[in-house]
Structure 1
Amino acid sequence: MLTILDRYILKRYLWTFIGMLLLFVPIGIMANLAEKIGKIIDNEAPLDEVLVFYGNFTLVIGNLLLPIFLFLSIIYFTSKLASNTEIVAILSSGVSYWRFLRPYFIGATLVAILIFFMGMFIVPHASIGYNEFQYKYFKRNKTDRVTNNIFNQLNENDFIYVSRFDPSREIGYNFTFEHFNGDTLDYKISAANIRWVEKDSVYRLTSYAKRKIRGAKEIIETQRRLDTLFSFDIDDLTPVSYVADTKNLFELNEFIEEQRRKGSANINTYVLVKYKRWALPISAFVLTIIAVAVSSVKRRGGMGVNLAFGIGVAFIYIFFDKVFGTLAEQSGFSPLLAVIIPNVLFGALGIYLLQKAKR
């Protein structure tokens, strides 16, 4: 049951957090619009698409920054409590420091639940429109997928490879398709290029050659051009780089298992996205601990010192998160450790600061 103290702190906690969102989210939108307005005008982006993009922008970027907004909110209102000696009065009345923390953890739990449901089910859908608009109007000269040396395992027996893929023309170069029976190569198809012909719903192979292995014999078939069918979609050659961001909790788990079976080279990137979604709600508790420890002590310089320290910690936290995320994506570092280490380090820092603040 919530006491008067719990309701008082929780009310300040949540209203300050909401106020921080209402203040900084529009600023973020205006800053992004000021930066991108030239490209929007030059590329003649329709107004309705721009409005939808900034709705998706609010969800995608806002969800990532929710723990940081929470962190700054706690520093702001707790510093005011400390400067008004309200915390001294609370503790002098016989309330223990750990009991004083309870409404903060209740608030962190509510925010963590919000972050969880947004990150798992709402933001993935928004990511589709957000990323498609980015590549359509802001990154027109960049590709949204890997286009060189693409290898995919379709199932236990079938493998495909292209040296280069042009997504705009839906054509792959130096195509190879290998079918195995167990550990034995049954046949191999190669072509100078493979193109998806949408009007006929077929794949067109140029300079086609098929090599069949029959015991000690090899049977070779060649044609200048062949229209045929395969069991894979053209997007199986190379999914878009942000594909994991667009899938909800259940879809992402299935997608990761499918990519593992295929032997995808980007599996660490997809797993990292999954673990980051689970880690983001936990960061709400970690940053809450640090924020209370920093701001619950009355300091010379007041709220300004606490906010400056808080902003510094927030930037360092983001830096660590980016560094370990990059390591996981590019060097084979464990994605699980990449999300655990920053939270463990800053969790330990928070507990240490709490002990100091308690004394």
Structure 2
Amino acid sequence: MLKIIDKYILKRYLVTFSVMLLMFIPIGIVIDVSEKVNRMIENKVPFKEIALYYLDFTIYFANLLFPIFLFLSVIWFTSKLANNTEIIAILSSGISFSRFMRPYIIGATIISVFALIMSIFLVPSASAGFKSFRYKYLIGNGQNEVRDNSDVFRQISKDEYIFVSNFQEVNQTAYNFSMEKFEGDQLKYKLIANRIKWNPKEKNYTLFNYTKRKVGAMGDIIETAERKDTVFNFDLEDLTPVVYIAETLPLNELHKFIDKEKARGSSNINTYLVVLYKKYSIPVSAFILTIIAVAVSAMKRRGGMGANLAIGIVLAFAFVFLDKVFGVLAEKSTAPPLLAVWTPNIVFGILALYLLRNAKR
């Protein structure tokens, strides 16, 4: 008897969540297409790149919004069970509320593992494709967004600094490159180029419209070239915008990158740590939101499913709001990133225990 009920609830859990994703992702794609179709036509974007962009778009936003989809889907089908008095029948047969929760916890485990695998293996590459497409093809307001988010100014050693703008992951090229070297307070040389391109086979860089100015006591020496291949003591990741690079690195590379930035004393280290910690906090939220959703919707209410969904939407957006607020707080202040990222889970975890305790009664 119990196995039949477990299979029934688990099936409804997974199917409803999948349907919720399949319903809302196409809506998101349609809205995105309607906003960007004019820019795509003006820039003559190849259909293949558009198709790849929306594949990346699907993975990126499914990962970003999966807590909301999961929460609403659990409330939806649990409310239906409650309205059909199926939950009353199950609990009246002598099954405890904790035992009733078992298939939900199994479902949350499956979803959490799937979300963790996605965030480690699929989301980084999807994020790179999604962002590089926007950086490459957006015009008008889009270019303002690129300008605000893609300029990189970074100290690569004790006395060397680099600057680039508008980095493109697709062709591994950055624009408006400059590099300055100092001795104390004195500038020794400044190197500029319209473009800098990474060559993965040769493991070097190509500079286009290159100019190097060496500052000397008796006069400056200027060297120019239309194209110059050279080697630098910085990595390709150093040319990439702050959040951009953190979101596009696989887990093992992200750990190495963070260690390297810590050794450099990077001022952006909190931003990288937020991305890292969210890879683990989001899957855990599946358990917390599942417990809250069941506790809220297992009771039959006068308002029916509408009342449960209204409560669920408020709680879901409260969770997302807290997640965003504490994420920004960690990036822009001295708040510990680990605590900031996990605060929404801690707050809603306490709420889940409270609601579960009342539901059992």
Regarding TM over 0.5, the answer is: yes
Counterparts in 2 of 1:1-359, with a 5 A limit? 3-138=3-138, 139-141=142-144, 142-143=146-147, 147=151, 150-154=153-157, 158-162=158-162, 165-166=164-165, 169-172=175-178, 175-177=180-182, 190-195=188-193, 201=206, 206-209=212-215, 223-226=220-223, 231-233=232-234, 235=236, 238-241=239-242, 242-359=244-361
Q: Given the superposition, is the C-alpha separation of residues 126 and 224 from structure 1 closer, same or farther in structure 2, using an over 3 Å criterion?
A: same
Match of 1:216 in 2: none
TM-score by length of structure 2 reads 0.85
Q: What CA distance in whole angstroms lies between the structure 1 residues aligned with 2:255 and 2:215?
A: 38
After TM superposition, the structure 1 stretch with the greater mean CA deviation from structure 2, 192-201 or 38-47, is 192-201
Give the match's secondary structure for 1:207.
strand
After TM superposition, the structure 1 stretch with the greater mean CA deviation from structure 2, 22-31 or 313-322, is 22-31
What percentage of aligned pairs have identical amino acids? Answer: 46
Q: What CA distance in whole angstroms lies between the structure 2 residues aligned with 1:10 and 1:54?
A: 30
Q: Which amino acid aligns with 1:225?
A: I
Give the match's secondary structure for 1:265.
coil
Give the match's secondary structure for 1:15.
helix
The answer to whether the 8 Å contact 2:205/2:231 transfers is no
Structure 2 unmatched ranges of 5 or more: 167-173, 198-203
Cα shift at 1:60:
0.5
Q: Given the superposition, is the C-alpha separation of residues 133 and 236 from structure 1 closer, same or farther in structure 2, using an over 3 Å criterion?
A: closer
Q: Given the superposition, is the C-alpha separation of residues 28 and 147 from structure 1 closer, same or farther in structure 2, using an over 3 Å criterion?
A: closer
Give the match's secondary structure for 1:44.
coil
The answer to whether the 8 Å contact 1:321/1:339 transfers is yes
Q: Given the superposition, is the C-alpha separation of residues 206 and 322 from structure 1 closer, same or farther in structure 2, using an over 3 Å criterion?
A: same
Q: What CA distance in whole angstroms lies between the structure 1 residues aligned with 2:35 and 2:205?
A: 43
Cα shift at 1:193:
4.3
Q: Given the superposition, is the C-alpha separation of residues 197 and 74 from structure 1 closer, same or farther in structure 2, using an over 3 Å criterion?
A: closer
The answer to whether the 8 Å contact 2:182/2:189 transfers is no
The answer to whether the 8 Å contact 2:147/2:165 transfers is no
Give the match's secondary structure for 2:106.
helix
The answer to whether the 8 Å contact 2:75/2:293 transfers is yes
The answer to whether the 8 Å contact 2:205/2:232 transfers is no
Cα shift at 1:202:
6.9
After TM superposition, the structure 1 stretch with the greater mean CA deviation from structure 2, 111-120 or 191-200, is 191-200
Runs of 4+ in 1 over 6 A off after TM superposition: 196-200
Q: What CA distance in whole angstroms lies between the structure 2 residues aligned with 1:325 and 1:197?
A: 33
Q: What CA distance in whole angstroms lies between the structure 1 residues aligned with 2:205 and 2:298?
A: 69
Give the match's secondary structure for 2:271.
helix
Match of 1:213 in 2: none
Q: What CA distance in whole angstroms lies between the structure 2 residues aligned with 1:348 and 1:326?
A: 23
Q: Which amino acid aligns with 2:7?
A: R
Give the match's secondary structure for 2:159.
strand
Q: Which amino acid aligns with 2:215?
A: A
Q: What CA distance in whole angstroms lies between the structure 1 residues aligned with 2:191 and 2:247?
A: 30
Q: What CA distance in whole angstroms lies between the structure 2 residues aligned with 1:152 and 1:230?
A: 17
Q: Which amino acid aligns with 1:33?
A: V
Q: Given the superposition, is the C-alpha separation of residues 41 and 358 from structure 1 closer, same or farther in structure 2, using an over 3 Å criterion?
A: same
1:56-115: CA deviation from partner (whole Å, max 9, x where unpaired): 000000111122111111101100111111111111111011011011000000000000
The answer to whether the 8 Å contact 2:150/2:165 transfers is no
Q: What CA distance in whole angstroms lies between the structure 2 residues aligned with 1:286 and 1:346?
A: 7
Q: Indicate the structure (1 or 2) with the bigger Cα radius of gyration.
A: 1
Q: Given the superposition, is the C-alpha separation of residues 222 and 237 from structure 1 closer, same or farther in structure 2, using an over 3 Å criterion?
A: farther
The answer to whether the 8 Å contact 2:329/2:335 transfers is yes
Cα shift at 1:205:
5.7
Structure 1 unmatched ranges of 5 or more: 179-184, 211-219
TM-score by length of structure 1 reads 0.85
1:181-224: CA deviation from partner (whole Å, max 9, x where unpaired): xxxx7x975235433777995796643137xxxxxxxxx68642
Cα shift at 1:31:
1.5
Work out the number of aligned pairs and report it.
337
